[in-house]
Amino acid sequence: MSPHVRPLAGFKNLADQQLVTTASAVVKEMTDNANFPNPPVDLKALATAVDDLSAAVAAQVQGGTASTAHKQNKRATVVDLLVKLAHYVHDNCGNNPAVVLSSGFQLAGTNRAKSPLSKPVIISIDAGKSTELVLKLSPVTNARIFDVEFAPLGANNTPGDWKDAGLFTNSRSITVGNLVPGTTYVFRVRAAGTTGYSDWSDPVAHMAT
Domain layout of the chain by residue ranges: 6-108, 122-207
Amino acid letter at 44?
Answer: K
Sequence-separated (6 or more) residues with CB below 8 Å from residue 197: 17, 18, 117, 147, 190, 191
pLDDT above 80 (res 124): yes
Q: Identify the CA nearest to 175 among candidates 130, 132, 137.
A: 132
How many CA atoms within 13 Å lie on the side-chain side of 92? 17
Which is higher by pLDDT, 63 or 131? 131
Phi then psi dihedrals of residue 40, to 5 deg = -75, -5
Q: Which residues pair with 127 in a beta bridge?
A: 133
pLDDT of residue 1: 35
Sequence-separated (6 or more) residues with CB below 8 Å from residue 138: 120, 121, 123, 171
pLDDT of residue 198: 87
pLDDT of residue 113: 44
Amino acid letter at 34?
Answer: A
**Mean pLDDT, the chain, as a whole number?**
88
Q: Is the distance from CB of 80 to CB of 73 less than 8 angstroms?
A: no
pLDDT above 80 (res 24): yes
pLDDT of residue 130: 92
Q: pTM for the full model?
A: 0.53
Sheet containing 133-137: order of strands: 122-127, 133-137, 174-176
pLDDT of residue 26: 95
pLDDT above 90 (res 208): yes
Q: The domain 122-207 is classified under which CATH number: 3.30.980.10, 2.60.40.10, 3.40.50.720, 3.40.50.740? A: 2.60.40.10
Q: Is the distance from CB of 208 to CB of 182 less than 8 angstroms?
A: yes
pLDDT of residue 167: 84
Amino acid letter at 53?
Answer: L
CA dist list (Å): 15 to 20, 54, 74, 195, 196: 9, 12, 13, 12, 9
Reported confidence tier of residue 58, pLDDT bands at 50, 70, 90: confident
Q: Could you report the per-residue pLDDT of 78-108, keeping only the tens digit for each?
A: 999 999 999 999 999 988 888 888 999 988 7
pLDDT of residue 143: 86
pLDDT above 50 (res 11): yes
Q: Report d(CA 209, CA 47) in Å as an integer.
A: 32
pLDDT of residue 3: 52
